[in-house]
Amino acid sequence: MAQLESIKAELEAGGAQLIYIAAEKGEGWFKPGQFLAKNPISFPFLLDEDRAITKAYGLYHRLGKDAIHIAHPATLIVGRDRKLQYIYRGDNQNDRAPVEQVLQALSKE
């Protein structure tokens, strides 16, 4: 989140809006409410409590060395036509889309 938060103004200047979606229950292990109180962000934060979005985009991570029943970290760009333009699916919980790649994909939109 911090990685993209730092370039939010640049993204918005290009017509993009950031939205964060977590495959987590409101009262789950991650405790999103508590986390956001300590680490505020300036864009919408949504919960995919039943993992429907996570599964629809092939991001569900049932079992792995560093994850159980959560999502692979991912960055998606949905175009103005509501079609998926870009997706980056992390191989592990620390693997994030390179900022340069995100900006390049946005410039094509």
Total domains in the fold of the chain: 1
**Digit-coded pLDDT (tens) for 24-50:** 888 877 788 888 889 888 888 899 999
pTM above 0.85, yes or no: no
* Contact present, 62 and 69 (Cβ < 8 Å): yes
Domain span holding position 13: 2-108
Residue 22 belongs to domain with CATH number: 3.40.30.10
**Digit-coded pLDDT (tens) for 56-100:** 999 988 877 767 777 888 999 888 888 888 999 998 888 999 989
pLDDT tier at 109 (50, 70, 90 boundaries)?
low
